[in-house]
Amino acid sequence: MDRVSSQNDAVVIGFLADAAAIFDADRVLVLLYDFDRGLASEVAEWVRPGIAPRGLSLHSIPLEKVPADVRQTHRQGEPYWIPDVPAFPEGGAKPGLVSAGIRSALAVPLMDGSECFGFVGFDWTRALHVPEPGEPLRIKLFAAQCVAPGNQPFGFHEKRRRLFQHGIGLGKREKPRLFLA
């Protein structure tokens, strides 16, 4: 399989690290959907030192493991925000978030026109996250930068095509292609 150059990997991880610093997140990840095959896979992750990465647990997973309300919200082009995971109703996304020690979570869809093909996830584990005024819009703009035409270091469309075309999402447990812990 073709691999993204390490220089591009560093650009993507640097971009995620910058976003984490701006929004004081403990983890920022990119997960791509393949609705046709019913699969999802993490392709990039940055974690604050001392925070456990989720990369291998989110690689090549059945789409059903992403709760239906999250997928539906993303397909409508809207972010999915859980400001207080411990207080969130049981079921849905809560069990996976609690097991990862996440206190607040935000998943912002990656859109190609009206098609959602993944999301950028922000996790806060050290404390609940209360967004500052204007922060939701800044986070949406960040996600839009990830898929902007000509933003070649990210190439998430190409990564998605390669990832699912070559069968990685068909049960093989390989390490995500971009990862920093």
Residue for token pair 């690290």: 17
**Largest Cα–Cα distance in the chain?**
44
In which domain, by residue range, is 155 found?
6-165
Q: Give the domain CATH number at 64.
A: 3.30.450.40
Q: What is the pLDDT of residues 48-70, one digit of tens each?
A: 999 888 765 566 788 888 888 88
Q: What is the pLDDT of residues 136-166, one digit of tens each?
A: 778 878 777 766 555 544 555 555 455 444 4
Residue at 71 is within a domain: yes
Backbone angles phi, psi at 57, to 5 degrees: -75, -15
Residue at 178 is within a domain: no
Residue at 21 is within a domain: yes
Written as six digits, the tokens of 38 are 């019913």
Of 23, 27, 18, 22, which is closest to residue 46 (Cα–Cα)? 27
Q: What is the pLDDT of residues 18-42, one digit of tens each?
A: 889 989 999 998 888 888 888 888 8
Would you state the pLDDT for residue 30? Answer: 87
Would you state the pLDDT for residue 13? Answer: 82
Residue at 176 is within a domain: no
Residue at 172 is within a domain: no
Average pLDDT (9-15) is 77
Burial state string for 43-65 with b = 16 or more CB within 10 A and e = fewer than 16:
bbbbbbeebebbbeebbbbebee
Residue at 175 is within a domain: no
- The number of domains in the chain is 1
Residue at 96 is within a domain: yes
Of 158, 181, 119, 155, which is closest to residue 8 (Cα–Cα)? 155
